[in-house]
Amino acid sequence: MYKKHLKPHVKTALAIIWFVFTFSLVAWWWVFFLVRLNPDNVSLEELKTSHRMFAWEGSILLAAILFGGTALVIFTYRDQKRHERLRFFFSTFSHDIKTSIARLRLQAEVLEEDQTVANPVMKRLIQDIQRLDLQLENSLLLANLESGELLLEEVSLSGLLSSLRNEFQELSLELEKEAFIRGDRRALLSILKNLLQNSVLHGKAQNVRIKVSTSGANRLELRIQDDGLGFKGPLGKLGSEILKSRDTRSNGIGLLITKRLLEKMKGDISFESNGSTGFTSILLVEGRLP
C-alpha cells in the first residue's frame, strides 16, 4: 500500500510552528510567575483564577509537546529508513555499473591489442572509461565517507604504484624509496588515482616523481611532483570545497575526497605549484621506512 509522506517544506513549517508555540507558552508562564504571582500582592480569588488558567494551558502545552515529540520521532525514523533504502539501492546499482564498466574496459583493451596499427580513438576510449570508473568510485566514497569504516593496515607504497602503472601508462612513475603506509588500501589507491588523474588530465604531465621522508615519529611525508602545467588558481581552495567550473572534469571533487580520506587516516594534504613548471601534492601520513 502506498504511504503518503509529507513534503520537506511542510515538515519544516510544522516544526517551526510547534517550536514557536511551545517556546512562547513556556516564556509566558515564566514571565507570569516572575511579575504577577507575587504572594504579597495576589488575592485568593486571583490565585484560583490563575490555577484554572494554568491547568488549561498546561494541558495544551503537554499535548503540544507530546504531539511534537511523537511527530519528530516518526519523521526521524522514516527518514532513517529511507536513507538506508537509498544507500542500499545506490550501492547495488553502483556495483552493477562498475561490473559493466570493467567488462567494457576489458573489451576495449582486447580490441586495442588486436589492432596492428595504434588507433588514437581507441586509446581515448580507454582513457574515458578509466575516468568514468574513477568518477563512479569517487561518488561511492563520497556517499559513504561519513559512515564508512576504514581498515588500517600496513600497505607497501611500491605495491600501490605497481597496481596503478597499467592504468596510467602515459605517465612515467618514479618512486624515490620504498615506504610502508598505515592506512586503508582501497582509500590509498583512490588517493593516488585522483592525484595521478589530475596530473594527466589537467597538468598534461608525462613524469611523476614521489619523494619520501620522515616527518616525526611514525609519520611520513610524500611529495608527489609532476612536470605538468601547474595550477594558477588559489591553492587554499583545493581539497576544501567543490569548485565551480565550466569544465565538468575539474570540479575538485577528487581532491576533496582525497583530503577527507587522509583526515580519516590521521593524515593531511597540501599543495605547491611552480607556475607552469609542475604541481606538487604533499601528503602527511602514518607509516615508516623499511
Spell out the residues 6+ positions from residue 214 whose beta carbon is closer than 8 angstroms to its own.
220, 221, 289
Q: Which residue has the higher pLDDT, 161 or 48?
A: 161
Identify which has the larger pLDDT, 121 or 152. Answer: 152
Q: 179 is written with which cell numbers?
A: 615506504
Tell me whether residue 140 is in a domain: no
290 compared with 106, residue with greater pLDDT: 290
Identify the band that residue 3 occupies on the pLDDT scale cut at 50, 70 and 90: very low
**Residue 84 is assigned to a structural domain of this protein:** no
* In-domain check, residue 71: no
Residue whose C-alpha is closest to residue 238's, from 200, 206, 195: 195
Percent residues over pLDDT 70 in the chain: 72
**173 assigned to some structural domain:** yes
CB neighbourhood size of 64 (10 A): 15
* 37 within some domain: no
Virtual torsion, Cα 247, 253, 254, 258, nearest 10 deg: 160
Structural domains counted in the chain: 1
Q: In DSSP terms, which residues pair with 212 in a beta bridge? A: 222
Residue 182 in this model has a pLDDT that exceeds 90: yes
pLDDT of residue 27: 73
**Closest listed residue to residue 57, CA positions, set 81, 30, 78, 36:** 30
- The CA R_g of the chain, rounded to the nearest whole Å, is 30
Residue 249 or 52, more confident: 52
CA 270 – CA 235 distance, rounded (Å): 8
| pLDDT given at position 208 | 92
* Exposure string over 115-129, b if 16+ CB within 10 A, otherwise e: eeeeeeebeebbbeb
Q: pLDDT band at residue 95, thresholds of 50, 70 and 90? A: low
Over residues 211-215, mean pLDDT = 90
Per-residue pLDDT, averaged over 279-289, amounts to 91
Report DSSP letters for 124-140, one per residue. HHHHHHHHHHHHHHHHH
pLDDT confidence of residue 213 = 92
The CATH number assigned to the domain holding 236 equals 3.30.565.10
Class of residue 3 by CB neighbours under 10 A (exposed 0-12, middle 13-18, buried 19+): exposed
Helix, strand or coil, per DSSP, at residue 284: strand
- Per-chain mean pLDDT for the chain: 76
* Residue 290 burial (C-beta neighbours within 10 Å; 0-12, 13-18, 19+): exposed
β-bridge pairing 172-175 and 207-214 = parallel
Domain-located, residue 195: yes
pLDDT score of 248: 47
Residue 9 has pLDDT above 90, yes or no: no
Distances (CA, A) of 170 to 43, 71, 90, 176, 280: 93, 58, 33, 19, 18
Q: Amino acid letter at 220?
A: L
What's the confidence (pLDDT) of residue 283? 93
Report yes or no on 167 lying in a domain: yes
Chain centre distance of CA 191: 13
Give the global pTM.
Answer: 0.62
Measured torsion, CA atoms of residues 39, 42, 47, 51, in degrees rounded to the nearest 10: -70
Give the residue-averaged pLDDT of 204-211. Answer: 90
- What single DSSP character describes residue 40? T
Q: Does residue 127 lie in a domain region?
A: no
Give mean pLDDT, residues 163-190.
87
Beta carbons of 287 and 179 less than 8 angstroms apart: yes
What is the CB neighbour count within 10 angstroms for residue 224? 22
Range of the domain at 225: 153-288
Q: What pLDDT sits at residue 261?
A: 87
